[in-house]
């Protein structure tokens, strides 16, 4: 490796390590990534799955997109979305609306909603985007712990966290939505097999 190549690699490693040390969310995602790679794709909850709640931070980008994709692929399911820190009634991010159209999804009518205890009641599967969200959900609703999975865990390859693209460039949105699309496709296939 050339000296300049080594310098670039060391610089990236230091920046990456710094994010790991300073960000609880990055730490949670890194630990989850390691565990997921060791244990493989997670098992679905044991009960028949008829209702799914997709969660993200603000319910204006990732979760409404995943909700629409899963509802389209599995119309027999009741699929909803919400945000762990969402306000009530905010429209989907304009960039999310634009990128979603590339996947045949219309988010123009979507309005955000916060997670409430009522949304958790009777939900068979709770999907989150990041490990820190799974941890927060399990902490505030411990009786739901066995029903909480990360959507990205259904991707064929890592990284398995689906970080928030909000406020990021269009390329980041497109890449995140492509990964959500792939994860939802694999999850829908798993749900098909499980329902037989």
For the question of residue 164 being annotated catalytic, the response is yes
Tell me the helix, strand and coil percentages in the chain, rounded to 5.
Answer: 55, 10, 35
For the question of residue 62 being annotated catalytic, the response is yes
Catalytic residue chosen out of the listed positions 61, 93, 147, 164:
164
Catalytic residue chosen out of the listed positions 62, 74, 113, 147:
62
Surface-to-core class of residue 196, CB atoms within 10 Å of its CB (0-12 exposed, 13-18 middle, 19+ buried): exposed
| Exposed e or buried b per residue across 55-82, where buried means at least 16 C-beta atoms within 10 angstroms of its C-beta | bbbbbbbbbbbbbbbbbebbeebebbbb
Catalytic residue chosen out of the listed positions 56, 74, 93, 153:
56
Return the residue matching tokens 């209702």. Answer: 51
For the question of residue 61 being annotated catalytic, the response is no
Would you please indicate which residues are annotated as catalytic (active-site) residues?
A: 56, 62, 164
């Amino acid at each position: 490796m050339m000296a300049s190549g080594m310098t670039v690699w060391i610089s990236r490693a230091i920046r990456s390590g710094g994010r790991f040390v300073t960000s609880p969310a990055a730490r949670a995602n890194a630990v989850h990534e390691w565990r997921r790679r060791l244990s493989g794709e997670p098992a679905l909850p044991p009960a028949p799955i008829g209702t799914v709640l997709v969660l993200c931070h603000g319910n204006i980008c990732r979760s409404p997109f995943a909700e629409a994709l899963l509802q389209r692929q599995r119309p027999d399911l009741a699929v909803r979305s919400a945000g762990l820190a969402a306000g009530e009634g905010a429209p989907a991010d304009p960039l999310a609306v634009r990128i979603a159209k590339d996947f045949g999804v219309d988010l123009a009518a979507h309005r955000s909603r916060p997670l409430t205890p009522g949304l958790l009641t009777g939900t068979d599967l709770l999907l989150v985007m990041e490990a820190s969200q799974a941890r927060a959900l399990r902490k505030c609703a411990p009786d739901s712990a066995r029903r909480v999975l990360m959507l990205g865990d259904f991707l064929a390859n890592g990284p398995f966290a689906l970080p928030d693209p909000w406020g990021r460039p269009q390329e980041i949105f497109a890449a995140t939505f492509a990964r959500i699309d792939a994860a939802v496709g694999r999850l829908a296939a798993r749900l098909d097999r499980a329902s037989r």
